[in-house]
Amino acid sequence: MPITTCIFDAYGTLFDVAAAARNAATEPGREVFARHWPAIAEKWRLKQLQYTWLRAVMGQHTGFWQVTQDGLDWALESEGLQDDTDLRDRLLQLYWELEAYAEVPAMLRALKTAGMNTAILSNGAPDMLQGAVKSAGIGDLLDDVLSVESVGIFKPARVVYDLVGQRFGCAPDEVLFVSSNGWDASAASGYGFTTAWVNRAGDPVDRLPATPHRQLRDLTGIPDLVRG
């Protein structure tokens, strides 16, 4: 069946998760942090993801804001910056104002022009996602913002992907699911979605039961995929 609905992961896919640390590193008085920010950004994101998976397996769900804070605390301590409370507060504030990747507005606009349904499906909490969407100025290009909080478990649980069909009344093979997380794209492929992995870092494909259908270096090619 033709694609009718384009669904996007949020963090790392539409929104640059490294932007909070990168922007904080340019602020006056952050010279020490400027030497650590790349490592902290990478560790922060890794722990944030690991904590979602572990909580899903343990059946101990919490909001994404909590795992975001927990991941940052681990990353700061790993770099010896755990006592800088002002830095911690600033990084968390900036996480609510993440920048969209440069190609996002034009890409979404092209999808809407083509008559596609567009939405976010994210581990993020609704208020966090709305903050990012507003900051990026892309709210008018999205039909909905779907959060795992409505089912109480993080991706890649299948009940999360169920939210797309429930919202748009579409079959899995009518959906193009786009994520920068290889594991997310792979799980969505196994669910039945057509998938595109935005592999900005050029990483190897994860060794999982299913694999993404397409790989892209950024989001500019997404409209071409739905046009066949």
Residue 198: CATH number of its domain: 3.40.50.1000
- Residue matched to tokens 């997404």: 222
The confidence band for 18, taking pLDDT boundaries of 50, 70 and 90, is: very high
Split at pLDDT 50, 70, 90, the class of 1 is confident
Confidence category of residue 227, pLDDT binned at 50, 70, 90:
confident
User: Apex CA 39: angle with CA 37 and CA 43, to 5°?
Assistant: 115
Judge if 9 and 43 occupy the same domain: no
Q: Does 203 participate in catalysis according to the annotation?
A: no
pLDDT of 228 above 70: no
Same domain as 209, residue 135: yes
- Average pLDDT (201-214) is 97
Same domain, yes or no, for 40 and 105? no
Q: Domain containing 123: what range?
A: 5-15+99-224
* pLDDT per position as a tens digit, 24-73: 999 999 999 999 999 999 999 999 999 999 999 999 999 999 999 999 99
82 and 178 in one domain?
no
Let me know whether 108 and 217 are in one domain: yes
pLDDT of residue 172: 98
In a shared domain, residues 124 and 149:
yes
- Which listed residue (9, 73, 83, 140) is catalytic? 9
- pLDDT value, residue 134: 93
Backbone phi and psi for residue 97, each to the nearest 5 degrees, phi listed first: -125, 35
State whether 146 and 126 are in the same domain: yes
In sequence order, the 6+-apart residues with CB closer than 8 A to the CB of 54 are none
Q: 85, exposed or middle or buried, with CB in 10 Å at 0-12, 13-18, 19+?
A: exposed
Are 91 and 129 within one domain?
no
Mean of pLDDT values over 196-206: 97
SS3 190: helix
Contact 185, 175 (CB under 8 A): no
Q: Are residues 179 and 109 in the same domain?
A: yes
174-198 residue pLDDT tens: 999 999 999 999 999 999 999 999 9
Instruction: Give the bridge partners for 6, in sequence order.
Output: 118, 176
For residues 77 and 105, membership in a common domain is answered with no
DSSP 68-111: HHHHHHHHHHHTT-TT-HHHHHHHHHHHTTPPBPTTHHHHHHHH
Quote the number of domains for the chain: 2
Percentage with pLDDT > 90 across the chain: 97
Residues 6+ apart with CB under 8 A from 90: 24, 27
- Across the chain, mean pLDDT equals 97
Shared-domain flag, residues 48 and 121: no
